[in-house]
Amino acid sequence: MTASGPRLLLGAPIATEMRARLKVEMAAFRRRHGFTPTLAVVFVGRDAPSAVYLQQILRSCRNAGAVGRLVHLPAGETAAHLRREIELLNADPLVSGIIVQMPLPKRIPLSVVIDAIDPAKDIDGLHPRNFGLLALGYEGFLPATAQAAVEILKRSGIALEGRHAVVVGRSNVVGKPAALLLLREHCTVTVCHSRTVDLGAHTRAADIVVVAAGRPGLITGTMLKPGAVVVDVGINMVAEGIVGDVDMASASAVVSAISPVPGGVGPITNAILLQHLLRAARDQVEGPPDRRLRRAPTRHPAGSTT
Ligand code: NAP
């Protein structure tokens, strides 16, 4: 921390750079293959924060030169109908990538999406094939938010190797994949969740804290080590607007760097999803460059076999 507060890890400059590159690559794809990749965004229900997010992702598609197709199903939709919609999108040659907006209505289990989605179009890394590739250190589609949480650290020049990272949250879409990605970067990783005893004792021991719990104000300054780096993934609607999971005021007095909400991880997530869309489109048209499983790029110490 400096006298003026901690360094803010801002997503916008990183996302702007990613989007500029993406726009050029998307245009090259269009010239080469004569069509524009489409991202199908499936949305069930009427959740207001989701509606805001949907407009952002559709705008991101337009800006990148891709097509965003909203597939809006009414709140009372059945799991069987959702599965059928996903299967139609799997079979549509114009659709290169599919995401399903969370949260789903409580009646519809996430397993419906996971079972139905074609792993080749699963650009948010939900399918067991993609998750398994991540766990084994191969290149599948990574869950975009988890990737964004690690990307903001890497692109901000935060050293990861050998450092103790604590991830708060163990969901399959954010916490668990973020922990696996930090492990890939050679962090020593602890994963905490709602049954963790004395959460503060864990977070206070961490050099890096990634919080994805969906609980506003969960992490306060007294739970953080002086000089720690914090990535706040949480998005919570409160009376004052959108806030993360970290109490910014108390944390700012302690940490050396922190990603704000909004303005941290969020913008990078969208840019990553569009990168995945382009990669899916390429793989579907050209085939993956190497049909064998590709190892994810990482630096392993000499002699390591992991
Ligand atoms: P989720 O499925 O509800 O998972 C929340 C996780 O936090 C669970 O593992 C839960 O533990 C844990 N948790 C809840 N309360 C806790 C507590 N008091 N102490 C410790 N751990 C606790 O949520 P998610 O989908 O992972 O999303 C997490 C947050 O990230 C949400 O705010 C969401 O809106 C946000 N998000 C942001 C982006 C972005 O682009 N920035 C994208 C997606 C999600 P248990 O497993 O024990 O229940």
Looking at the fold, whether 222 and 197 belong to one and the same domain comes out as: yes
Evaluate: CB of 140 within 6 angstroms of ligand 1. Answer: no
Residue of the CA atom closest to atom 15 of ligand 1: 194
Residue 133 lies in a domain: no
Residue 249 lies in a domain: yes
Residue 292 lies in a domain: no
Q: Determine the Cα–Cα distance for residues 273 and 148; give it in Å rounded to an integer.
A: 10
Which CATH number fits the domain that encloses residue 176? Answer: 3.40.50.720
Number of domains in the chain: 2
Evaluate: CB of 184 within 6 angstroms of ligand 1. Answer: no
Whole-number pLDDT of residue 301: 54
Looking at the fold, whether 206 and 115 belong to one and the same domain comes out as: no
The whole-model pTM stands at 0.94
Evaluate: CB of 259 within 6 angstroms of ligand 1. Answer: no
Looking at the fold, whether 270 and 260 belong to one and the same domain comes out as: no
CA of 28 to the centre of ligand 1 (A): 38
Whole-number pLDDT of residue 1: 57
Evaluate: CB of 272 within 6 angstroms of ligand 1. Answer: no
Q: Determine the Cα–Cα distance for residues 181 and 190; give it in Å rounded to an integer.
A: 12
Looking at the fold, whether 198 and 237 belong to one and the same domain comes out as: yes
Residue 63 lies in a domain: yes
Evaluate: CB of 190 within 6 angstroms of ligand 1. Answer: no
- C-alpha to C-alpha distances, 299 to 58, 81, 184, 219, nearest whole angstrom: 35, 44, 9, 32
CA of 53 to the centre of ligand 1 (A): 17
Residue 79 lies in a domain: yes
Looking at the fold, whether 22 and 81 belong to one and the same domain comes out as: yes
Which CATH number fits the domain that encloses residue 27? Answer: 3.40.50.10860
Name the residue of 123, 202, 233, 272 whose CB sits within 8 Å of the most ligand 1 atoms, as the mutation to test its pocket. 233
Whole-number pLDDT of residue 52: 78
Looking at the fold, whether 260 and 150 belong to one and the same domain comes out as: yes
Tokens, residue 16: 């702007």
Q: Determine the Cα–Cα distance for residues 260 and 57; give it in Å rounded to an integer.
A: 20
CA of 286 to the centre of ligand 1 (A): 37
Looking at the fold, whether 201 and 162 belong to one and the same domain comes out as: yes
Looking at the fold, whether 242 and 272 belong to one and the same domain comes out as: no
Looking at the fold, whether 56 and 91 belong to one and the same domain comes out as: yes
Q: Identify the domain containing residue 184 by its residue range.
A: 143-265
Q: How do the pLDDT tens digits run along the chain, 306 residues long?
A: 556 799 999 999 999 999 999 999 999 999 999 999 999 999 999 876 677 788 989 999 999 999 999 999 998 889 999 999 999 999 999 999 999 998 899 999 999 999 999 999 999 999 999 999 999 999 899 999 999 999 999 999 999 999 999 999 999 999 999 999 999 999 999 999 999 999 999 999 999 999 999 999 999 999 999 999 999 999 999 999 999 999 999 999 999 999 999 999 999 999 999 999 999 999 999 887 665 567 776 655 544 544
Residues 6+ apart with CB under 8 A from 86: 42, 98, 100, 113, 116, 117
Looking at the fold, whether 174 and 276 belong to one and the same domain comes out as: no
Evaluate: CB of 60 within 6 angstroms of ligand 1. Answer: no
Whole-number pLDDT of residue 299: 56
Looking at the fold, whether 111 and 153 belong to one and the same domain comes out as: no
CA of 268 to the centre of ligand 1 (A): 18
Looking at the fold, whether 77 and 183 belong to one and the same domain comes out as: no
Residue 54 lies in a domain: yes
Among 299, 193, 289, 258, smallest CA distance to 6 is for 258
Residue 80 lies in a domain: yes
Residue 58 lies in a domain: yes
Contact 295, 170 (CB under 8 A): no
Q: Determine the Cα–Cα distance for residues 208 and 284; give it in Å rounded to an integer.
A: 37
CA of 121 to the centre of ligand 1 (A): 25
Residue of the CA atom closest to atom 39 of ligand 1: 266
